[in-house]
Amino acid sequence: MSAKILFKFIEKGINLSPDAYNKILSLEDPLNFSLSLIVKLKSQKYSKNDLISLDESIVDEFIKTLEVESFQANGEDNSSSLNSDFNRKSNKNSSTTLNPNISDKSEKIIENGINTNDEKKYKNGNQSSSDAEFKIKDKIEANSDLGKIEKIDNSISDEIKRNLLEPNTQFDFKIIQDTSKKSYTSGEISNLISYFKNRYEKLSNILSKRPELKVHQKISDITNDTKDINIIGIIKEIRSTKNNHKMIEIEDDTGEISVLVHKDNHDLFNTSEKLVKDEIIGLLAENKGNLIIASRIIHPGVQRVPEKKMDFATVFTSDIHIGSLTFLEDAFVKFTKWLNGNFGNDNQREIANDVKYLLIAGDIVDGIGVYPNQEKELAIKDITTQYDEAARLLGEIRSDIKIIIGPGNHDASRVAEPQPAIPEKYAKSLYELNNIEFISNPGIVSLDGIITLMYHGRGFDDIAMTVKGMSHEKNELIMEELLNKRHLAPIYGERTPLASELEDYLVVDNVPDIFHTGHVHINRYKNYNGVHMINSGTFQTQTEFQKIYNIVPTCGEVPVLHKGNYKQLKFI
């Protein structure tokens, strides 16, 4: 055991002092403690390549944080010394109530006569005096372009169970695109042809509005006498030549042609390095007789989106992975308490009070058999029971928040994208909650006029693995690139299974106000030409599978768009 622990730290470039090592070994569950500490260090204070020397004081500091959290998670019981994260496994066996409205706690609150309608009290937080002692004052500043990450204040007020009330909030909620019932594919080759034809038509419509491409040729019309070439085509192949230029093979519905990108044309060469198979581009080139030399590559692109007024807050999450042993239930419970106005400082509660929508971009549950040996990391080994547990946890959220859920690759939907909404058959208890809307992946909704494209993000794996300079970690670059390409998963037939529908629903026909994604388990935010691009991270600590790919998740951090301003709240 002790060698295993040392190895875990060494693997991540962390050097343990002898005192720190002895301290960890003296704990109740040293291995779990070590894994959590590694995740915390690597996802918060340091980057994955930093070398860290860990002394006893850092271990003590982490133990202290866990004690505070343990106090809050356990109410009056301050006796256990470790984070309830570790206690969670034993809690799993406690009986679950599917209908939150009849849970013991809510009954107690009603008996105690707390006026749940008291809006002022809710807003002001109504903190108990003892909370002050346990308030963590530090605010964590993000070190990157993400802006400020605010640690949620560890103060709890008397519970106010707003989900017992009839909601009187007015929602202007519309589903703009839900492909759940639009799956016509029979898997025939003719479908594949229609699918690509549709992709080409949609994107060439967008491209042909660009002044440089208003007049363009069909490939079959190009002759030796055509000097200037302007075409719109799909990339069949892109490869390096032996002199390190790039050769693009591009085709349209009439023919195909090879175009060379010269390595000395640096800007163009850099752009060509981000091209992928099966994407649709505009290409300007010069015909030199024996060779066609590219002069411009044109993406469908993103025009600046004007800012819309937003007088409420929308919360984004994904990759909760309920049912996994690595699901951070305590952090998630704190999150739902915050939504209900029962957690955080006054300012944080004010934000919670403004929340109208909660979007969940897939991987609500961990599913079964998604990757090899997954069952060893499952706390719940039945998909319906996983959704029952999800219903129990989401059922705690006040009913005047509309929750919109799309599936991810761990959910019980078909794996090929577009994925239909999570079927009721497996998630009956979730369907019983009347503030949830289920949509496809991808799906588009209008939240009081704010157009939001939600995509789980499986297509990101292909981009991260094949495009130079792209990684899961900097997924905002992937989101930007995909918006420019106006396709969520352009590469056909590799990691991301795509269903060859008659229409390609993964084309981004219209640029949204918000582009919300998940899957990578790493929070990122960027405002790109007015589009809020958000990856909502995860509530799951690093899995064995993610260790292989060296993916270090950012756990328990929840993005919020509050009246148009981005904020990220940390629940661990």
Contact set with ligand D5M (CB under 6 A): 319, 363, 409-410, 461, 472, 495, 519-521, 546, 549, 551
Q: Does 461 bind Fe ion (CB under 5 A)?
A: no
CB of 258 to ligand D5M, least distance (A): 31
CB of 153 to Fe ion, least distance (A): 28
Residue 461 interacting partner from Zn ion, ligand D5M, Fe ion, none (CB closer than 5 to 8 Å by kind): ligand D5M
* 497 phi, psi to nearest 5 deg: -70, 125
Query: What does the block give as tokens for 399?
Result: 């009913």
Taking the C-alpha atoms of residue 311 and residue 270, their distance in angstroms, rounded to an integer, is 41
Residue 551 interacting partner from ligand D5M, Fe ion, Zn ion, none (CB closer than 5 to 8 Å by kind): ligand D5M
* 516 phi, psi to nearest 5 deg: -105, 125
- Over the window 15 to 54, marking each residue x when it contacts Zn ion by CB under 5 A and - when it does not, the resulting string is ----------------------------------------
State CA 494 to chain mean position distance. Answer: 21
The smaller minimum CB distance to Fe ion, of residues 363 and 504, is found at: 363
Residue nearest to Zn ion (CB): 519
Please tell me what DSSP assigns to residue 42: I
The smaller minimum CB distance to ligand D5M, of residues 486 and 521, is found at: 521
Q: Quick one: which of 179, 409, 429, 535 contacts Zn ion (CB under 5 A)?
A: 409
CB of 117 to ligand D5M, least distance (A): 40
CB of 247 to ligand D5M, least distance (A): 27
Q: Which of residues 515-534 bind Zn ion (CB under 5 A)?
A: 519
Applying CB under 5 A, which part among 226-234, 403-411, 447-455, 555-563 lies near Zn ion? Answer: 403-411
Taking the C-alpha atoms of residue 394 and residue 414, their distance in angstroms, rounded to an integer, is 23
Q: Which of residues 307-326 bind Fe ion (CB under 5 A)?
A: 319
The smaller minimum CB distance to ligand D5M, of residues 216 and 519, is found at: 519
Q: Which H helix or E strand runs over 382? A: none
Strands (E) in 252-369, as ranges, are: 256-261, 280-287, 292-298, 313-317, 355-361
3-state DSSP of 405-452: EECCCCCCCCCCECECCCCCCCCHHHHCCCCEEECCECEEEEECCEEE
3-state DSSP of 502-537: CCCCCECCCCCCEEEECCCCCCEEEEECCEEEEECC
CB of 384 to ligand D5M, least distance (A): 20
Residue 517 interacting partner from Fe ion, ligand D5M, Zn ion, none (CB closer than 5 to 8 Å by kind): none
Amino acid residing at 524: R
Query: For the residues of 158-173, what is the DSSP string, one character each?
Result: ----GGGSPP-----E
The smaller minimum CB distance to Fe ion, of residues 260 and 404, is found at: 404
Residue 406 interacting partner from ligand D5M, Zn ion, Fe ion, none (CB closer than 5 to 8 Å by kind): none
CB of 123 to Zn ion, least distance (A): 36
With CB under 5 A, what is the number of residues at the site for Fe ion? Answer: 2
Give the 3-state secondary structure of residue 249.
Answer: strand
Q: Does 363 bind Fe ion (CB under 5 A)?
A: yes
Residue 356 interacting partner from ligand D5M, Fe ion, Zn ion, none (CB closer than 5 to 8 Å by kind): none
CA dihedral 129, 130, 132, 136 (to 10 degrees): -150
Instruction: Provide the binding-site residues for Zn ion, judged by CB under 5 A.
Output: 363, 408-409, 519
